[in-house]
Chain A
Amino acid sequence: MTRELTCIICPKGCRLCVEGGDNRLTVRGNACPRGEQYAIAECTNPMRTVTAVLRVSNRYDTMVCVKTESPVPKAAMFAVMERLHQTTVTAPVSIGDIVMDDLFGSRIVVTKGAI
């Protein structure tokens, strides 16, 4: 198998070429080791960080921002959003607070709080 990818780990956007079979993949074009990790993950189990906003049950004029603390399976992004849409938080919440412990393997962490 050969697959062309654009690395999205950092803004450089290296063009990567992944070659190989089931148990051994080789990566070319990466400027750093993280590019290699990304390319292999992208060809085996692609992951994405999801960011979103949550409603605050006791505030009408503000939203709380959250992210998956670690990447979740790319295929699960919409399922993550659906769960987050059903979730509200209660102020006060602070940046860094954990609002869910395990959503597709990641904690949900607050990135902008509400006082």
Chain B
Amino acid sequence: MMHYDIVVVGGGPAGMAAAVAAYDAGCTRVVILDREPQLGGILMQCIHNGFGLHKLGRELTGPEYADVYAQDVARRAIPVLTETTVTNITPDRVVTAQSRHGIVKLQAGAVILAMGCRERSRGALRICGTRPAGIYSAGTAQKLINCMGYHVGKRVVILGSGDIGLIMARRMTLEGAKVEAVCEVMPYSGGLTRNIVQCLEDFDIPLYLNTTVAQVHGQKRLEGVTIAQVDGQRRPIPETRRFIPCDTLLLSVGLIPENELTRAAGVPMDPITGGALVDEHCQTQIPGIFACGNVLQVHDLVDYVSEEAERAGAGAAAFVRGSALLNTSINTQPGNGVRYVLPQTITDTTRDVSLFFRVSHPMGKVRCTVRSGADLLTALPRPRVAPGEMERITVSPDLLRRAGDTITVEVEELP
């Protein structure tokens, strides 16, 4: 068995930033394991620009953003085992992985989980009809087009207005396909506003809200879809059914953190985020196992993934060095208008702690508050909020010391 200070599972943006941060915090025996032939994760197929404005101060494409961190990894000579799939992690941090060279077992001082997420599939949505070719998740289509250079279809309907779906609407249009419609079952888009503007409005692609794909048609290749408006329970309204001929249906209906290894290791999970329960160092409830990036919570911007991963890397390095991560424990919880709050616990009240949260529905002018019981600790006004965008509010040590066992994050709509 090989021994490492830190084993990072996944070499996407989270894994790379975590490894670099851990190294810079003094843990030099770090290794990254990734199933793909190169570092970068899903960024390598995200050829569009818009990455890095917050974190790096310039606007990059996905592969360029990944390259910045891959170079950081290379400069530190952090070893990377590519085409290596982790198949098991134990609570005492033995990581089993498989590659063309065989099975390896690594004993880790700390493990950082950075496996990312996957797309929700058609089956989970129970879209009725036949099972022809031409139905892809948006990310699969993105890989076929951007990494392999193949067209997936000429007439396209997209279900779900998540960012990948919006990006693919533009991408396929620029490649010569006709995108007939983007259908969104919710009354609002789940994507970033800028993507609605740049990817749909620029190309006059209609976005139908409160609308779903009720049925798919075609025996061998997709021949069309029936779309329909939905009622309050998100069920299709029969009178609104409408057939759209198309050869391709892309699904962009949500991302699910890929936590099979995490669950198998026995790490307690948050049913709302689909990720582990963590403290502000991204440490899970199993000591020495950390989680960051989209495996912890689905982010809107990769910049925030990198930031979160740096906290995880520093936290893991501190754990390995044996500097006790303080265990003062304050629980956080979502209140009105908030779907979830991360981290779920705060252990260190001597430093600023940023709370990340998502609102439950779009709102206009709001005030985000952090309360301990009736005591208002801090508040942040926002001009408008949407579930597609992650919000953050920072709480200072003074305020944390004032807090009781539990603090609540709420959003109040202002007149």
Real binding pair? yes
A interface residues with partner B (beta carbon < 8 Å):
6-11, 13, 48-53, 55, 61-63, 65, 67, 74, 77-78, 81, 95, 111-112
Contact call A65/B63, Cβ cutoff below 8 A:
yes
Contact call A55/B149, Cβ cutoff below 8 A:
yes
Query: B residues within 8 A CB of A11?
Result: 50, 53, 192-194, 300-301, 389
- Tell me which of B44, B194, B301 has the highest count of chain A C-beta atoms within 10 A of its own C-beta: B194
Report the nearest A residue to B390, measured CB to CB: A11
Interface of A is mostly: mixed
Shortest CB distance B141–A (Å): 13
Given contacts A11-B193, A111-B64, 14 further A-B contacts (CB under 8 A): A6-B197, A11-B53, A13-B194, A13-B197, A48-B202, A53-B47, A53-B146, A53-B149, A55-B149, A62-B147, A67-B47, A95-B63, A111-B47, A112-B61
Report the nearest B residue to A11, measured CB to CB: B192
Shortest CB distance B42–A (Å): 13
Given A81-B175, A111-B47, also A95-B67 (CB < 8 A): yes
B interface residues with partner A (beta carbon < 8 Å):
44, 47-50, 53-54, 59-61, 63-64, 67, 145-149, 174-176, 192-194, 196-198, 202, 300-301, 389
Given A8-B197, A11-B194, also A63-B149 (CB < 8 A): yes
Q: How distant is the Cα of A27 from the Cα of B264 in the complex, in angstroms?
A: 54
Contact call A112/B47, Cβ cutoff below 8 A:
yes
Q: How distant is the Cα of A67 from the Cα of B59 in the complex, in angstroms?
A: 11
Report the nearest A residue to B149, measured CB to CB: A63
Query: A residues within 8 A CB of B193?
Result: 6, 8, 11, 13
Contact call A81/B49, Cβ cutoff below 8 A:
no
Contact call A111/B389, Cβ cutoff below 8 A:
no
Given A8-B194, A11-B194, A112-B44, also A67-B50 (CB < 8 A): no
Q: How distant is the Cα of A21 from the Cα of B336 in the complex, in angstroms?
A: 45
Contact call B174/A112, Cβ cutoff below 8 A:
no
Our pick among A13, A51, A61, A62 for the contact of B49 (Cβ within 8 Å) is A51
Q: How distant is the Cα of A99 from the Cα of B393 in the complex, in angstroms?
A: 44
14 CB < 8 A contacts A-B: A6-B193, A11-B193, A11-B301, A51-B47, A51-B49, A53-B145, A63-B146, A63-B149, A65-B47, A65-B63, A65-B146, A78-B174, A111-B64, A112-B44
Query: A residues within 8 A CB of B61?
Result: 51, 65, 67, 111-112
Q: How distant is the Cα of A53 from the Cα of B389 in the complex, in angstroms?
A: 29
Query: B residues within 8 A CB of A49?
Result: 49, 59
Query: B residues within 8 A CB of A112?
Result: 44, 47, 61, 63-64, 67
Q: How distant is the Cα of A8 from the Cα of B44 in the complex, in angstroms?
A: 23
Given A8-B198, A10-B53, A63-B146, also A77-B174 (CB < 8 A): yes
Contact call A67/B149, Cβ cutoff below 8 A:
no
Contact call A111/B63, Cβ cutoff below 8 A:
yes
Given A48-B198, A49-B49, also A63-B192 (CB < 8 A): no
Report the nearest B residue to A84, measured CB to CB: B174
Pairs of residues from A and B, 7 with the lowest C-beta to C-beta distance, nearest first? A13-B193, A112-B63, A8-B194, A111-B61, A65-B47, A63-B149, A51-B47
Query: B residues within 8 A CB of A81?
Result: 174-176
Q: How distant is the Cα of A74 from the Cα of B198 in the complex, in angstroms?
A: 10
Shortest CB distance A63–B (Å): 5
